[in-house]
Amino acid sequence: MVLLRSFVTFSVASGLSMNSTKTDAYFNGISNGVKKDILQISGFHEGHMPFKYLGVPITCGRMIKSDSNLLVEKLICRIRSFGSKKLSYTGRLVLVNSVLSALYNYWVNIFLIPKGVLNKINSICRNYLWDESVDYIRVPMVSWEKACSPKEEGGLGIRDSLSWNIAAIGKLVWWIYYSPDRLWVKWVNQIYPKELIGGSHHPSGDVSWGWKSICRVRDRLASGYYNGQWLLDNKGYTVGSGYELVRQKCQAVQWNQWVWNGWCIPRHQFIGWLIARESLQLKMKLFQLGIAADGDCMLCSNASETHDHLFQECTYGRRVFSEVSKLCNMSIPMSNHMQWAGDRHASRLQKGVLLCIVMATFYHIWMQRNKARVEGCILKPDLLSKQIRREVQVRICARLLPVTDRRDLDWLKSVKLYL
């Protein structure tokens, strides 16, 4: 009756009325007689767990895999809606990141998601990234764990669902300690001990799965706390800082700033990333796996097709770089191209343009290699170099703001890239 009076008070104050015929009541631990009386007085229908509210599954117990299938279905539908569009690796990467961000904001920051569901989410995103399909049929060129590393560590900066869910639940741990006025925290403090962050509380075997999971997350994040303070962020616990603590760490790489330079064309960046990681599926690798009949270079047939050969030693690739050098009136070395461009004592604009040229050349050498494999023919180096220069010119014009530095302007004109 107290609850019904509150509804009436709210209705009088707001002018909004509740439709009792469309309202369900959920019961637990009361007799059938009391339940019948409540339904008769309120006019509500009896509801049953689990149910969905605004697309979110509500359950009185542990969320099982079947309760979370909506999350997987939404992800698959979102990805398949782009099925008719042929996207590059970069386009697929952007889509994967945007879809995951939406799911994290809507779901993973709210619920303890079963590990099987999170693994399925990772699997779908990995499959789409590498094969443009949710059903994977090939071995990925880079493992998902490494792809989820930050770009500074040689990855793609994708956020891993398992680690993100742990970090998101870490926010609940923080609230229990620092937000006692929250309604959920007040309820928790009535049921469970308050020594959660300190680590002195260990859940007994008869407590809920959710509370056990929160305590496990507390233990995973324990190294980030000292005397009840969060060490990784002066403002207190954040999901981002918690993710940094629990994610898999990799060694930092130098080439990150070269590959992801803002001057480079996005589709060239992805291939450049694979080259820097030496992760392209070249013939020598396939031959060693017993997939290819031989490991000979598709462009020159003079040596084994490895990363060092294809992009530094191959006669075709060297001729392409030579022709590009002539067209752009510069001397590009025949090896260590990215390091040459990235380490030059030049302005930021000049370094960016040089990296754009190198990455574009890498990309088109790789495309000609694939053309040789599929069609059995390739463009002449002089024709390919003209195509490369044209793409670089268009990219520079699209990105270039009015050049205020006279030296940069003169340099662009000297290398024949300023239109």
Letter string b/e over residues 221-257, b meaning 16 or more CB atoms within 10 A of that residue's CB: beebbeeeebebeeeebbbebbbbbbbeeeeebebbe
- What are the sequence ranges of the domains in the chain? 2-48, 164-246, 256-414
pLDDT digits (tens, 9 = 90+) for 291-310: 889 999 999 999 999 999 99
* Contact predicate 405/399, CB 8 Å: no
Whether the per-residue pLDDT at 404 is higher than 70: the answer is no
Label residue 64 by pLDDT band (50, 70, 90). Answer: low
* Contact predicate 332/357, CB 8 Å: yes
Q: Which carries the bigger pLDDT value, residue 407 or residue 86?
A: 407
* HSE value, Cβ hemisphere, 13 Å, CA-based, for 238: 7
Whether the per-residue pLDDT at 109 is higher than 90: the answer is no
**Mean pLDDT value across residues 76-103:** 80
Percent of the chain with pLDDT over 90: 42
What pLDDT is recorded for position 296?
94
**Mean pLDDT value across residues 394-414:** 82
Cross-strand partners of 296: 304
H or E, element range at 320 = helix 315-327
Q: Which carries the bigger pLDDT value, residue 245 or residue 12?
A: 245
Label residue 79 by pLDDT band (50, 70, 90). Answer: confident
Q: Which carries the bigger pLDDT value, residue 58 or residue 288?
A: 288
Q: Give the best-scoring range by mean pLDDT among 30-44, 65-79, 234-248.
A: 234-248
What pLDDT is recorded for position 50?
72
Take residue 224 and report the two structure tokens written for it.
Answer: 């980030």
> Other CB atoms closer than 10 Å to residue 293's CB: what's the count?
9
Whose tokens are 């979102």? That residue is: 78
Whose tokens are 């107290």? That residue is: 2
pLDDT digits (tens, 9 = 90+) for 184-212: 888 888 887 666 666 677 777 777 788 88
What phi and psi values does residue 349 have, to the nearest 5 degrees? -65, -45
Whether the per-residue pLDDT at 92 is higher than 80: the answer is yes
What pLDDT is recorded for position 62?
65
pTM: 0.83
Distance (Å, rounded) from C-alpha 382 to C-alpha 7?
79
pLDDT digits (tens, 9 = 90+) for 249-296: 999 999 999 999 999 999 999 999 999 999 999 999 999 989 889 999
